[in-house]
Copies of this chain bind each other. A is one copy, B any other.
Amino acid sequence: MPKNKIGRDIPEYIEGIGELRPYNGPFSFQPTKRKYGRDLSQVKPGDIKLLDSIEKAVIKTELKDGMTISFHHHFREGDYILNMVLDTIAKLGIKNLTLASSSLNAVHEPLIEHIKNGVVTKIITSGVRGPLAEAISNGILETPIIIRSHGGRARAIEAGDSQIDVAFLGAPCCDEYGNANGYSGKSFCGSLGYAKVDAEYADKVVLITDNLVQYPNVPASILQTDVDCVVKIESIGDPNGIVSGATRFTKDPRELLIAKYAAASIEASGYFVPGFSIQCGTGGASLAVARFIRERMIEDNIKASFALGGITGQFVEMLNEGLISKLYDTQSFDLTAAKSIGENPDHCEISASFYANPHNKGCVVNKLDIVLLSALEIDTDFNVNVITGSDGVIRGASGGHCDTAAGSKLTMIVAPLIRGRIPTIVDKVNTVITPGETIDVVVTDRGIAVNPLRQDLIEKLTKAKLPLFTIEQLKGKAEKITGKPKAIEYTDKIVGIVEYRDGSIIDVIRQVR
């Protein structure tokens, strides 16, 4: 089996997927195709889009065996849409579908039944968690799932690599002609950044809402000119699962130590200057870094031009304090962010393509100075795994990890050196999501490692007297405590392929034994 640029075995061809192009560096692939263009329509004055059941919408879209359907995951663990639509499709006897969701969560466990009964035979997603992830890792599907980053998904859809026949999109606030936003109504989720791509490129677009408002719903995130039908139902999601409340700051001393090192590294890096831009995660350490950075911004009178993400209430507060000029939001992570996006014109909703698609005319991750990312594992080549656990089972999501790492000037991984008895830094990660050549700094509670590709940063962080080690030294420290981790046992069967953002294959996931 041929190896890609980072030494992973990539099959040349997979039944049900086709030929695979191996990963060959973050910007090595120059696209030559044209953007996908869906069929032109003719909706006449007086035509009605409003329907009173999902079943009628499925029938109206002429969904057939073998087609591709899509969903967004802005409702997270509160999502009712995907399960309802699949139940309806199953009832109608439609089979052999490809499910191209922006991501999948534990709430989608009922999908297992629809895989067993042949309704869904292929899955494309950013990630998957819970019993469904276990089932996939145990080989329930004949064809491997495709893991795509948020930018990679937008790219694939725009390029027509992943043609969506029908998108079923939950809409927290919608009029009868298809103008929708995500920040009003009982099922509000904030940004509809993932759904925007599906709405623009799917051949048929169905909006499903529990909050039908008077025409015209202005301003709107999804436009009537992209929508075929609107379905009004009782409830599209469980508000408790959709947005979480305010994020509390960590008191974990280990996370605080990581955050202290990370903040100091950012300060020393040369990127912490007026007008800098930043993306942070939602982990305890990431949020603590943002808090430390905020303090230094006030002290040094440094203001950020924008924050990007995955927006949390913390960034909203910094926007309101005038510390950050603008927020670019593909996904609102909490209650504060989900509300702010509908109220503050400087808090700007963006599509996943604007966020991270490498093949438009310049996505916003290109303009990112600093990104803080998490990791389940990092290897001595700086490759990062955020998808499979220490048992080899899928338990995470690709998200914007490899996208922001490729775009950002300073890509920093924050992670504890060990978790329980499991080392975070290893010889070879189980699964590569983000290639090491796009990672600059790894910050742990036991020290910092800088990618040797960044001699400039090694110099700066050394000068700042930060506890620098080689990545091998960090690995040694971890193994001293945990011992060498036992290799995971896999079968030969490939259960997932991991696409890099440019459509090449960076790794595969095998069935756990």
- A residues contacting B by CB (< 8 A) are 27, 29-47, 49, 158-160, 177-178, 205, 214-216, 218-219, 223-228, 275, 305-306, 325-326, 328, 345-346, 348, 353-354, 357-368, 406-409
A326→B217 CA distance, assembly (Å): 9
Question: Is the CB–CB distance between B366 and A44 below 8 Å?
Answer: yes
Chain B residues with Cβ below 8 Å from A214 are 275, 305, 325
Question: Is the CB–CB distance between A362 and B275 below 8 Å?
Answer: no
A111→B409 CA distance, assembly (Å): 46
Chain B residues with Cβ below 8 Å from A358 are 42
Question: Is the CB–CB distance between A225 and B40 below 8 Å?
Answer: no
Question: Is the CB–CB distance between B218 and A348 below 8 Å?
Answer: yes
Chain B residues with Cβ below 8 Å from A406 are 45
A-B residue pairs in contact (CB < 8 Å), sample of 5: A35-B40, A37-B37, A43-B361, A45-B409, A177-B362
Q: A305 contacts which of B27, B31, B215 (Cβ < 8 Å)?
A: B215
Kindly list 10 other residue pairs between chains A and B, CB separation below 8 angstroms, not including A45-B406, A224-B362, A227-B361: A31-B41, A41-B359, A42-B359, A45-B365, A45-B368, A46-B366, A178-B361, A218-B328, A224-B361, A345-B345
Chain B residues with Cβ below 8 Å from A177 are 362, 367
A38→B364 CA distance, assembly (Å): 20
A49→B361 CA distance, assembly (Å): 10
Binding site secondary structure of chain A: loop
A39→B35 CA distance, assembly (Å): 6
Q: A348 contacts which of B32, B34, B219, B357 (Cβ < 8 Å)?
A: B219
Q: A225 contacts which of B47, B227, B353 (Cβ < 8 Å)?
A: B353
Question: Is the CB–CB distance between B37 and A42 below 8 Å?
Answer: no
For residue A348, which residue of chain B has the nearest CB?
Answer: B218
This chain's copy number in the assembly? 2
Given contacts A34-B40, A348-B218, contact A225 B362 (CB under 8 A): yes
For residue A409, which residue of chain B has the nearest CB?
Answer: B45
Given contacts A224-B364, A225-B363, A228-B361, contact A218 B346 (CB under 8 A): yes
A178→B360 CA distance, assembly (Å): 13
Question: Is the CB–CB distance between A27 and B44 below 8 Å?
Answer: yes
Question: Is the CB–CB distance between A362 and B27 below 8 Å?
Answer: no
Chain B residues with Cβ below 8 Å from A367 are 45, 177, 215-216
A178→B367 CA distance, assembly (Å): 12
Question: Is the CB–CB distance between B33 and A40 below 8 Å?
Answer: yes
Chain B residues with Cβ below 8 Å from A47 are 362, 366
Q: Which 8 A-B pairs have the closest CB atoms?
A: A35-B37, A43-B362, A31-B40, A225-B360, A37-B37, A34-B37, A45-B366, A218-B326
A295→B367 CA distance, assembly (Å): 52
Question: Is the CB–CB distance between A227 and B305 below 8 Å?
Answer: no
Given contacts A37-B34, A225-B357, contact A43 B218 (CB under 8 A): no
A219→B354 CA distance, assembly (Å): 13
Question: Is the CB–CB distance between A40 and B216 below 8 Å?
Answer: no
Q: Tell me how far the C-beta of A311 lies from the nearest C-beta in chain B, rounded to whole angstroms.
A: 13
For residue A326, which residue of chain B has the nearest CB?
Answer: B218
Chain B residues with Cβ below 8 Å from A219 are 345, 348
Q: Tell me how far the C-beta of A459 lies from the nearest C-beta in chain B, rounded to whole angstroms.
A: 21
For residue A223, which residue of chain B has the nearest CB?
Answer: B354
Chain B residues with Cβ below 8 Å from A306 are 215-216, 218
Given contacts A225-B353, A345-B345, contact A30 B42 (CB under 8 A): yes
For residue A351, which residue of chain B has the nearest CB?
Answer: B225
Q: Tell me how far the C-beta of A191 lies from the nearest C-beta in chain B, rounded to whole angstroms.
A: 14
Question: Is the CB–CB distance between A360 and B226 below 8 Å?
Answer: yes
Q: Tell me how far the C-beta of A203 lies from the nearest C-beta in chain B, rounded to whole angstroms.
A: 10
Question: Is the CB–CB distance between B43 and A366 below 8 Å?
Answer: yes
A214→B275 CA distance, assembly (Å): 9
Question: Is the CB–CB distance between A328 and B41 below 8 Å?
Answer: no
A275→B361 CA distance, assembly (Å): 41
Q: Tell me how far the C-beta of A95 lies from the nearest C-beta in chain B, rounded to whole angstroms.
A: 27
Chain B residues with Cβ below 8 Å from A223 are 354
For residue A228, which residue of chain B has the nearest CB?
Answer: B361
